[in-house]
Amino acid sequence: MATTGALSGKTALVTGGSRGLGRAMVLAFAGAGASVVIASRKLDACEALAREVGTRYEVAALPVAANVSNWDDCEALVTAAYERFGRVDVLVNNAGMSPLYPSVDQVTEALYDKVLGVNLKGPFRLTSLIGTRMGHDGGGSIINISSVEAERPEPSALPYAAAKAGLEALTLGFVRAFGPKVRINTIRCGMFRTDISKAWGDPAAVDEVARQRIALRRVGEPAEIVGAAMFLATEASAYCTGATIRIDGGTR
């Protein structure tokens, strides 16, 4: 059925939006009345979610295939969003990747560049393009999805950790570049049970690590990012910019 809510009349663009945390945020924004742009490298997955959004919430959903590490793809994504909706009110830089590697000396240049491209280069370009337009259009909210690795890097994820630390630095820099009209904030995520978590190994072993390292003693579920995302996307956070909100269950 048609939905009205805190984001009615708004447009939200979510990268990495077809699965995991991105999917949860797309559904939440659509449920609050927003039109949504669903971007990921796999168009069929974006199209499937767009159909689900249209059926469940009767809001417009635009699926776009985009590899955010490619600036041409970023520009094509922005063009598609503005041609369809005329504006973007919420940008979520959620697309991310952290390939496994056996040891730091075996990190290839290609792997390093790929990880930095998706996690840092893409968000920089999209924020630059969309943040500038938001400023001209009267304002907006940009949400960067970071990781506890930015603060507590593990040897098994150093390129990813460096990229996420850089993303948090971009949050603070863009706050000054685009204030006062555009708000930019970070959600620093802990362990969430998404498709990516399947690469972590035996689920029982992962749960044991969570019990030892996380105050809530469990891995998070994708829907548990929604509260923070909705807060930052709406006027509920009108006086919040440059903030980092930890959604990590109390990871130590």
Residues noted as catalytic: 160
Find all residues with CB under 8 Å of 67, minimum gap 6, and list them: 41, 73, 118
Q: What single string gives the DSSP state of each residue in 96-123?
A: ------S-GGG--HHHHHHHHIIIIIHH
Cα dihedral 209, 210, 213, 214, rounded to 10, equals 180
Q: How many other CB atoms sit within 10 Å of the CB of residue 134? A: 24
Identify residue 170 by its one-letter amino acid code.
L
Pairing state between β 11-15 and 90-93? parallel
Omega of the bond leading into 180 within 30 degrees of 0 (cis) = yes
